[in-house]
Amino acid sequence: MNNNSTDLSKNIIVRTELKPGDASFIIYKQALLYNTEYNFGLDFENYVMKGVSEFLKNYNPDKDRVWICECDGQMIGSLVLVHKENNVAQLRYFFIDAQFRGHGLGKKLMGLFMDYYHSQKFSSAFLWTMDGLDSAIALYKKFGFCLTQEIRSKTFGKEVLEKRLDLNTSKFS
């Protein structure tokens, strides 16, 4: 089993070029993942589709960044930095296929996010997540994000506790 995991890791690449089809595939992968793991339906897919569409509409390769993880040519993960007004960065569309979790890929993506964040001198960063994503929240906290807001919502077609985390920039001053 370990040899198989090792072999797979050798075939994983992370690219930053946004190619035609990537945005649609991010929507597809997010919809499948959240349906399989959290029983979210079409409301969630619609939410992601609207957000990705807005991202594409405003995409600026000098300010925005995508990290697409591929293994043997198949997308297995992503993370997106979306530039917002006032030099603010938003972390979005972070996922890793289940069979590739637990091997440091999430940590690698977060490191790449932070490197880009600092190189572009963004003033702050934030993300939205939800209760129950404990591993992701722990990873965000390791990289300096802190819980700043919680709201109950039915945005995804069922009630969830959404959580906003903001990057503690004083940690890096």
Cα–Cα distance measured from residue 79 to residue 125, given in angstroms and rounded to the nearest whole number: 14
Q: What is the pLDDT of residues 86-141, one digit of tens each?
A: 999 999 999 999 999 998 999 999 999 999 999 999 999 999 999 999 999 999 99
pLDDT in tens, 143-152: 999 999 999 9
CA distance 129 to 166: 11
Instruction: Judge if pTM exceeds 0.85.
Output: yes
CATH code: domain 2-125 is 3.40.630.30
Q: What is the structure's pLDDT at 1?
A: 34
Percentage of the chain surpassing pLDDT 70? 92
